[in-house]
Structure 1
Amino acid sequence: MSVKKLSLAGVFVAVGVTCSTFSIPIGVAKVFPVQHFINVLGGMLLGPFYAVGMAFVTSLLRNFLGTGSLLAFPGSMCGALLCGLCYRYTKKMGSAVLGEVIGTGIIGALIAYPVAALFLSSTVAFYGFIIPFSLSSVTGAVIAYALLLSLCKSGLLHKMQKDVTD
């Protein structure tokens, strides 16, 4: 376990919790992209298991603070895991972004249904979480992709990845 990785994970969790109420209006929806942004950064810089840990701790803290719901757990953790695994095996930013979107927007949304039915007494349709989860994850992943692309072009992304693994 690396002190550098733990420190960066702590910073990402702090940003995720602090900025969790930030939203962007898209049509009639309000999307909350910060967790998905953090998932992509964490998945690419720290790996899938740190990213899942960060998503879990962020969701837990947000629930304790009253700014999150139980639905944050399956969405963020599935997205973080798939994002990190896709990047680990392909080394492509686009794969990480796609992993976040599929992991949160589809897999996490489908897993959220039984959580909502059992613990929140929700009567939303089985596929009812896919559109809102997908909107948020696409928005956050695209923002992360734009930042990572600029870091890559400047050479800083490679340096950051190297610094974290040393």
Structure 2
Amino acid sequence: MPTSLQMAAGNPALAAAVQRSRKLLHRRALVAAAASAVPVPGLDWAVDAALLSRLLPQINAEFGLSAAQIDQLDPNKREQVQKAVSLVGSVLIGKLITRELVIRATQTVGLRLTTKQAAKYVPLAGQAVAATIGYATLRYLGEQHLKDCVRVVQEAQLQLPAPKASR
């Protein structure tokens, strides 16, 4: 299966949005990895949910797919976007991202998260495994969301917003 960057090939604006989003994703995944290494029950789940509930709206905005951006589109284009979102099957595009939505999305990787919980209680090696799984889990969820955003933008032939000034 192609990556989000491969899917965006041929469209420089779309590829740039993917790269900006991946940079955000990488930073958040490092924070998730650090939280996963701490042997406090439930801390990593709370951190993952908080990170995703902030990250996903930022990614949506990079692609012009936040709820506010979609509401500003003309009615025909808005309908195209809604159809594309339905076709892709994402529950995280064009919606207010709540903790419940994030938890529903993370249930797809529930086994990894359970393994991460168990591994962190093994001194040193277990914490390293938990951190690695924490990083990989957040990257996986983020990459899946990026692919959904790319597919929606391509399907709806949506014009991307101008990139924000450097962060």
TM-score class, shorter-chain normalisation, is: 0.3 to 0.5
TM-score by length of 1: 0.38
TM-score by length of 2: 0.38
Structure number with greater Rg is: 2
